[in-house]
Every structure is written in structure tokens, then in C-alpha cells.
Structure 1
Amino acid sequence: MDYETPLFFRVMEYADAADRDVVDMVSGNPDWEPPEALRDGLREYADLEPDRFQYPPSEGLLELREEIAARRGVDAEQVIVTNGAGEANYLAMARALERDSGNEILLTDPVYPYYPGKTTMLGGTQRFVATEDDGQLDPAAVRAAASEETAAIVVTTPNNPTGAVYPAETMRELVAVAEAYDAILISDEVYDHYDLSGAFASALETDSAHRIVTNAFSKSMAITGVRVGYTILPPELVDDAKSRHMLVNVATTRPGQYAVLNALRETGPDYYERNRERLRERVTTFTDALEAAGAEYTRPDGSFYVMARFDGYPGTLANVERLIDEGGVAGMPGEAFGDSRTAWLRFALVTPRVEEAAERLATYFD
């Protein structure tokens, strides 16, 4: 079986090898500080007894699972702590396909490229549903695409790459589609703390045995390298997911879980609001420059990505490399996210050099 390396790595390698200074707007690595309590937790951990440096419970530290469960309104037994949202999505998609209720995964277009990759890796087949121009997903279109072969419907809200935030009605209707076809709605909510619209609704708000929610602290706490995420499954799907997690990873970082738990307990809402406000300012700065450059662009309701379209400059890998060499800005080609945004480029606003990048783009496309 052939696996295709995600274009993220190819673009980052090209930018790193460039002969000039390049503003990196490729990957979603927050450039701001993690919660102070996260750092405190890691410092504390260094002085704990030797037994704390051994295997933790495979499904995650009980106290962390209980904290997550209390915040999400579920039973702790439904929570598996994973190596980031990446593993959480892998477990969710695997469980959906293992139910012998179809072999097809419904994905949105545009799509976060790791979902199609995981589908291929797990032996499933892909089917795409185009989103609206504003990134919203019409549940009627999902229902029209669904069939008896549909094992799962995978969505992410707030969305990467469009920045769309799906309202409660959309989430309820997507769960209903999953129920109608004995499928699983997999809702990746890793950007939930970056809802800039106030419209975010979790799939957990709809009680159903046909939905799995995945998440992580990678983005919300600016700790993509710590690798602590989680998945919340219906009770009947938990045991086999725990077994797969154990066989693939054994367990997740114990110091990371300890530090995340400390941060959850000690960090107030002001930390998250400061980061949302930072993003709001960056969105304005960046889109103002795109406006000046005559570009069409998306203004995100959530997450931290902006998509832009420049006349005569489609979102190909070759054009991304050209922009790196000639403009000094690295973004992602729209073609990496599916067929519907091939004319676009995607930029991540997680760099303190957003204003500089915006000026470079405005100059380059003037």
C-alpha cells in the first residue's frame, strides 16, 4: 500500500532550504506562551519519585480522564488519553471501520489532508462532500452523499482550513445522518478554544451512540510538541479502542499528562481569551493587507487560518515554492486540501511576523 507524505513536510523542507529569510505560515504551531501552570507542572514532575517515570495506565491518568470527563459532561470510562488529536482521530476512524457497517469515510472538501491519509492507511475508501463558499457544511448534502457503505462522517469545527464554525443545528443534523445510516460522526474539535464567533457547538451536545469527539491540548495550550489529546467514545466502542491504543502506543507521555492536568486546574478563562483576542487582531491585520493586494480571502470564524486567492496565481505546490523564493512567505497550496480550493493558498496566523508577512504579500502581488 502506498502512503503519500503530507505536503506540509515538503513545503516546510523547501522553506527551510531557501536562500532567503522566509516567514513561516505553514503549520499550526502557536507562537505564544503555554499556561504558566503547564510549565510549573513539568518542573514539579522532574522531582517526583522514580515510579512516576514508568508506564502510566494505558488509557491515561485517571485524574486527567476524570477532569476531561467533568468538563465535557461524560463518564471518565468513555475517555482515552491519546498522543495528540492525531491518534485520537486514528482511533475514532478505526473503530468506525471495524464495526462492519460500511467501508466508506465521508470527508469534506476542502479537507484536512491527514483524514484522507488515515482513511487509506486503515483500508477505507474516501468520498467527499463539498462545503459552501463560506466553509459551512450543508447536512442535506451529507445526507445525499451517505449510503449503506458509509462507516463514518469526519468533520472538524472550528475548521481547518476554512475557519468555519458549525452551529448547533448543523451538528445535530450530522448526528442524525450518522444514525440513519448506522455510521459514526467523528467530530474533531481541537480548535474549540479558538471560536471567534461564539457559535461553536460540540457534537457532545447531542446524545447519541453514533458520535465520537476528538480533541487535544496541542492548540488550546500552545503545546503541539507535548502530545496529549483525547477521544470520547460511546461506551460500546471504548474497549476495542483502548486495546488498539495499547497495541500501537502502549501509553501517552506521563509528564505531559501531569502538566496538562495542572494547567487545566490552575488556568483561568482569561488565558484563552487573550489568545483569541491576539488572533482577532492578526486576522484584521492580515486580511487588510490581502484587501490592499486585491486578493479574495476568507475571514475565519474560528481556528487560525486564512485562505486567499490571487488572480492568475493558483494554489499549486509550484506556486507556493515560487512565493517562498520570490516573496519570502511560506503558505500551503490549496490543492493540498482537495479539489474545491485549488485556486487558493492557506496561511496560518501563528507567527509574530503576521504584519511583516502581510506587507510582503501586498508588495509581491501589487
Structure 2
Amino acid sequence: MEYETPLFFRVMAYANEADRDVVDMVSGNPDWDPPAALREGLREYADLEPDAFQYPPSVGLRALREEIAARRGVDVEQVVITNGAGEANYLAMARALERDRGEEILLTDPVYPYYPGKTTMLGGRPAYVATDETGRLDPAAVREAASEDTAAIVVNSPNNPTGAVYPEKTIRELVTIAEAHDAILVSDEVYDHFDYAGAFSSALGIESNHRIVTNGFSKSMAITGLRVGYAVFPHHLVENARGRHMLVNVATTRPGQYAVLKALHETDPDYYERNRERLRERIDAFTEALEAAGAEYTRPEGSFYVMARFDGFPGTVENTFELIDEAGVAGMPGSGFGDSREDWLRFALVTPRVEEAADRLAGYLG
């Protein structure tokens, strides 16, 4: 089975080898501190008895699964703790395909590149539904594209790369479409803590056997290196997902799960609001500089990415490398997210050097 190495790695490798200072706006690695309770949890773990350093239950620590289930209003047996949200999406998409209801995975355009990569790796066939200019998905377009060969519809809200947030009406209609075609809606909600518009709606709010919700703590707790995610499956789909998870990963990090649970118990909501406010300020600063440079841009309703388009400078890999060499700013080429944004570039606002990066872009492209 052939599939492409994600373009992220090529761009990051090029930036790392550059013979100059480069502001990294490629990857979504938060630059702020994790919750204090999470650090304390890791310190506590170091002093536990030897059996705490052995395999955890494959599906995850029971206490963490119970906490997630209580917060999300689901049965604990539906929750599988995964190696980040990335594995959660892999399990969800695999589960949709192995039901033998079809081989097509409907994705959005633009799309987070790992979704089509996983689709191809799993033997599925990606198909695309274009979003509108704000990044929103029109359910009518999904309904028109769906068929008896549709195994899954994969959506991400708040969205990477557009920053769009899908309202409850959209999510409800997407679940209805999945039910009509005996497909699975896979709703990736890993950016749910970064909703600036107040419009986010989880698919877990809709009762259905045709939706799987994935999430994780990498972004919300600024711990992309700990790899603690989860998926919530309908009861009739969870057993096979558990089996695949065990065969692929055995389990995920026990210290990470312990620390995440402590952070869930002891972290004040102000922690998340401070980080949202930090990002609001960065969005303002970055988009103001883009506007001054005459660029077209998206203003995110959620997540922490901005897409920008400069006249005469399309978002190709070659132009991305040029920006690294000449402007000292590393972003992602829009062509990596699908055909509809190939003229655009995507920038992650998870660096304290946002204003400096914007000034460099304006100076080179303005």
C-alpha cells in the first residue's frame, strides 16, 4: 500500500537546516506551560512502586476513563485511551472501513493531511467536499457527495487549517447523513478548548450509533509529547477498536495518563481561558500585520491557525522554502491541505514571536 510521508516533516527538516534564524509556524506545538497539576502528577509518579511502571490496562487507566466518561456523558466502556488523538482517529477510521459498508472516506477540502494519509494506509479511498470561503462545511454538499460506498465522513471542529467552528445544526445534519448511508461520522474535536466564537458543538450531544468522537489533551494541556488521547465509540463498535488498539500499541503511557487525570481534577478553568486570551491577542496581532501587508487571510473562530494569501506568491512547497530562506518564517504550503487552498499558506500561532514573524512576512511580501 502506497502513501505519502506527511509534508510537515519535509518543511520542518528544511527549516531546521536553514542557515539563518527561522520563526517556526509549522507545527501545532503549544509554547505555553502545561497545568501545574500535570507537572506535579509526573513528579508524584516518579516515586510510585515498581508495578506502576509496568503495562497499564490496554484500554486505559480505569480512573481516567471514568473521568472522561463523566465529563462527556457516556458509558465508561465506550472510552478507549489512545496514543494521542492521532491514534484515536486511526482507530475510528479503521473501524468505519472494516464494517464492509464501503471504501470511501469523505473528507473536507481543505483537509488536515493526516486524514487522507490514514485513509490510504487503511485501504480506503479519499473523496473531498469543498468548504466555503470561511472554512464551514455545507451539509447539503456532503449529502450530495455521500453514497452507498461511503464508509465514513471525517470532520474536524474547531478546524485545522481554517479555524472554522461547526455549529450544532451542522453536526446534527452530518450525523443524519451518516445514518442515512449506514456510514460513520468521525468527529475530531481535539481543539475543543480553543473556541473563540462560542459556536462549538460536540457530536456527543447527538445520540447515534453512527458517530465516533475523538479527542486528546495534547493541545488543551500543551503536552503534545505525552501522547494521551481518547476515542468514544458506540457500544457495538468498541470491541474491535480495543483489539486493534492492543495489537498496534498495546497501551499508551501510564505516567502520562496519571498526570492528565490529576490535571483534570485540579486545574482551574482559568488555565484554559488564559491560553485562549493569549491566542486571541496573537490572532489580532498577526492578522493586523497581514492586513497592513495587503494579504487576504482567514480569522479563526477556533484552533490556532491562520491561512493567508499574498498576490503573486502561491502556497507551493517551493515558495514555502523561499520564505524560510529569505524571510526567516516557516509556515505550511496551502497545497498540502488540498486543491482549494493551494494559493494559500498556513501559519500556526503557537510561538511568542508572532508579531516578529508577521513583520518579516510583511517586509518580504508586502
Work out whether the TM-score is over 0.5: yes
Report the equivalent of 2:277. 277
After superposition, give the CA deviation of every residue in 1:311-346 in whole Å (9 maximum; x if it has no partner): 000000000000000010000000000000000000
After superposition, give the CA deviation of every residue in 1:8-46 in whole Å (9 maximum; x if it has no partner): 000000000001100000000000000000000000000
Report the equivalent of 2:216. 216
After superposition, give the CA deviation of every residue in 1:27-78 in whole Å (9 maximum; x if it has no partner): 0000000000000000000000000000000000000000000000000000
Supply the distance in 2 between the matched residues of 1:254 and 1:357 (Cα, whole angstroms).
Answer: 38
Supply the distance in 2 between the matched residues of 1:98 and 1:184 (Cα, whole angstroms).
Answer: 11
Report the equivalent of 1:71. 71
Deviation of 1:100 after TM superposition, in Å, equals: 1.1
Deviation of 1:3 after TM superposition, in Å, equals: 2.0
Query: Helix, strand or coil: the match of 1:324?
Result: helix
Aligned letter for 1:170? T
Unaligned ranges ≥5, structure 1: none
Supply the distance in 1 between the matched residues of 2:362 and 2:318 (Cα, whole angstroms).
Answer: 20
Supply the distance in 2 between the matched residues of 1:213 and 1:321 (Cα, whole angstroms).
Answer: 36
Unaligned ranges ≥5, structure 2: none
Query: Helix, strand or coil: the match of 2:154?
Result: strand
Supply the distance in 2 between the matched residues of 1:132 and 1:205 (Cα, whole angstroms).
Answer: 25
Deviation of 1:365 after TM superposition, in Å, equals: 1.2
Aligned letter for 2:145? A
Report the equivalent of 1:147. 147
Report the equivalent of 1:324. 324
Q: TM-score, normalised by structure 2?
A: 1.00
Supply the distance in 2 between the matched residues of 1:54 and 1:18 (Cα, whole angstroms).
Answer: 41
Report the equivalent of 2:306. 306
Q: TM-score, normalised by structure 1?
A: 1.00
Taking the TM superposition and a 5 Å limit, the aligned residue runs for 1:61-100 are 61-100=61-100
After superposition, give the CA deviation of every residue in 1:73-111 in whole Å (9 maximum; x if it has no partner): 000000000000000000000000011111100000000
Report the equivalent of 1:4. 4
Report the equivalent of 2:112. 112
Report the equivalent of 2:251. 251
Deviation of 1:268 after TM superposition, in Å, equals: 1.2
Query: Helix, strand or coil: the match of 1:237?
Result: helix
Report the equivalent of 2:264. 264
Report the equivalent of 1:165. 165
Report the equivalent of 1:349. 349
| 1:338 lines up with 2:366 in the alignment | no
Q: Aligned pair count?
A: 366
Taking the TM superposition and a 5 Å limit, the aligned residue runs for 1:22-33 are 22-33=22-33
Report the equivalent of 1:128. 128
Query: Helix, strand or coil: the match of 1:59?
Result: coil
Report the equivalent of 1:190. 190
Identity %: 79
Supply the distance in 1 between the matched residues of 2:213 and 2:165 (Cα, whole angstroms).
Answer: 15
Supply the distance in 2 between the matched residues of 1:37 and 1:362 (Cα, whole angstroms).
Answer: 40
Report the equivalent of 1:102. 102
Query: Helix, strand or coil: the match of 2:341?
Result: coil
